[in-house]
Every structure is written in structure tokens, then in C-alpha cells.
Amino acid sequence: MSERFAPDASIDLHGRRPDAALELLRRAVESGKYRGKTLEAIHGQGSGVLRETVRDWARRSNLVKQVWAGEDFFLPGGGGVTVLFL
């Protein structure tokens, strides 16, 4: 029996401008509420601008230990999600 990965929490960033989405994500991460947990950022496929904004920020953040691109790990939502390990 194989187990599916399930994040501890998720945040929906759909339909937001990159700066507004990033501010929402940054506040969630910096709040400490998800420390030691996995947070799934749902940004959708779209043009890729929001996806890259989220992933670039997460890779640079010292609060994010690891970043999973949904498409690389065959997660539900594929390239429309990014998982942050905090």
C-alpha cells in the first residue's frame, strides 16, 4: 500500500496579482503558524508568473527549508501547486 503525500495546510492564491499573492504567502509563513509543517501554495497554471513569483520567493526565504514543485512530485494540481516545507 502506498501513501499519498498530503500537506498540513494550503493557501489559495488564485486570481491575485503577484505582489498581493506574495504578501499573503509571506505573512502566512512569517506568522509561525505553520512552522515545522508543510504549506501548499495553490497558484494555478496560468501564464506561470504567479508560480515563478512564489517559487523564487520560497527558494530565497530563510524560513522555507525545502520547496517542491507540484509537477516534479506528481502532486494533485501538478504545476499549479508548490509545497513549502517550513
| 60 φ, ψ (degrees, to nearest 5) | -90, -20
- Alpha-carbon distance 8 to 30, whole Å? 16
Report field, pTM of the whole predicted structure over 0.95: no
In a domain, residue 79? The reply is: yes
Domain membership flag for residue 21: yes
Q: Which domain holds residue 16?
A: 9-85
* SS3 label, residue 24: helix
Note whether residue 1 is domain-resident. Answer: no
4 domain-assigned = no
Whether 49 is covered by a domain: the verdict is: yes
Question: pLDDT in tens for each of the 86 residues of the chain?
Answer: 447 889 999 999 999 999 999 999 999 999 999 999 999 999 999 999 999 999 999 999 999 999 999 999 999 999 999 999 99
| CATH number where 44 lies | 3.30.1370.110
Residues making up the chain, counted from first to last: 86
Domain count, the chain: 1
Asked if residue 3 is part of any domain, the answer here is: no
